[in-house]
Amino acid sequence: MPEGPTIKEFREQWIEFIHELQDKICEALEKVDGKAKFMEEKWERAEGGGGKTRVIANGNVFEKGGVNTSVVFGEVTDVMRKQLKIEGDEWFACGLSLVIHPSNPFVPTVHCNYRYFELYKNKEVVDRWFGGGTDLTPYYLFEEDAIHFHQTYKDACDKFDKTFYPLFKTECDDYFVNTHRNNERRGIGGIFYDHQKPNKERDLDFWMDFSNECGYAFIDAYIPIVEKRNAASFTKENKHWQEIRRGRYVEFNLVHDRGTIFGLKTNGRTESILMSLPPTVRFEYNYQPEKGTEEDKLLQVCLEPRQWIEISDLGN
């Protein structure tokens, strides 16, 4: 076992980090909204553990959003073994997950998730891993915003390993995909990683520090974009396109997202799991934006992911 905190001590450190991150992100989002406040609901899970769901709605900026934390545990069921391909007797998971849906179509939706998982057999930890990431889903493409967002996460990754950003950026592009729609991406990506297991070179403290850096980078990556775009005027046609793209968001979350599947398969709290869904969406038969429009420009980068930071800069 790597040197450093015991597993029990580390779990407590991770839980504390996740709750502090929830507090800081909620403070930043409330400040930029200027009107709406998060409502908190604490909940308990019969099988073990619980969480804190915080929801913001009908604000100056945010139409709907949630910043949730959970600390849950229980027995490994047959459904979990089959769905998640894990073997063990018991499990523990703790993480933060957020999705924010702004009202203005020129302000992007954003998703963020950082988590830690343990698997036990005969009361001993037999496996553990980290996962997380943050990705951006704009409705209209502003290249400077995309560059700012990706640069923020490259800077965070580079403090630990200069191979992380290009690797996790690619994983993000390859994960948030509606494969049933000609491999159309949900948005313009960010970083995503999963099943990162501690070892002698990258121990528990390494992944704690990395998660901390990336978790708090959310504020620097997203809030300036909100401040820049929220005052823009928009039309009903802009709102129509936003709702079309929100439909794609719903499709991914309900069909493909592993976090949603994990929550539902482990008897998680349905209201907290589905808080990621936007308040209004459109599903129109075979809707295609007109070629050459701003809407089409966004669609094209969802079909063909870009390197928002010059290739020569990656890993430098």
Angstrom distance (rounded) from CA 238 to CA 246 = 12
- Beta bridge mates, 193: 132
Residue 34's region, left for phi above 0, alpha for psi from -120 to 50, else beta, is left
Give, in degrees to the nearest 5, the angle at Cα 184 between 179 and 233.
Answer: 145
Say which amino acid occupies 8.
K
Collapse the DSSP code of 106 into the 3-class scheme (helix H, G, I; strand E, B; otherwise coil) and give the result: coil
Query: Under a CB-based contact definition with an 8 Å cutoff, are residues 74 and 48 in contact?
Result: yes
Collapse the DSSP code of 265 into the 3-class scheme (helix H, G, I; strand E, B; otherwise coil) and give the result: helix
Token pair 């001590």: residue: 9
**111 included as an active-site residue:** yes
Give, in degrees to the nearest 5, the angle at Cα 277 between 294 and 253.
Answer: 85
Angstrom distance (rounded) from CA 15 to CA 208 = 11
Collapse the DSSP code of 19 into the 3-class scheme (helix H, G, I; strand E, B; otherwise coil) and give the result: helix
Choosing from 101, 111, 148, 150, which is the catalytic residue? 111
Which active-site residues does the annotation give?
A: 111
